[in-house]
Amino acid sequence: MTGDEIRAAQFREVRRGGYDTEDVDALIGLLAATADRGEPLAALANGAAFREARRRGYRPSDVDAFLDRCAGSGP
């Protein structure tokens, strides 16, 4: 995946039980910068952990599926 593809990622939101949007957005920025440098994404994607959102958050299944794609992509 390219940095631009990662930055373009969008996730549906849920009212409860979602991932904290700031945590996810920060990881997306880190993943994009890592991809821009041509470095592997698997360690970052596989090691991701997020706080539960207090109100609205990203749908966990969307984020998890995206991270699975990042982990499976080459450098």
Averages of pLDDT over runs of 10 residues in the chain (75 residues) are 96 94 97 96 93 94 96 72
Tokens of 15: 């009212």
How many domains would you assign to the chain?
1
Tokens of 58: 């990203």
Q: What is the per-residue pLDDT for 72?
A: 87
**Residue ranges making up the domain that contains 66:** 3-72
Q: What is the CA radius of gyration of the chain?
A: 12
Q: What is the per-residue pLDDT for 75?
A: 55
Determine the longest span between alpha carbons in the chain, in angstroms.
36
Question: Does the model's pTM come out above 0.85?
Answer: yes
Q: What is the per-residue pLDDT for 55?
A: 87
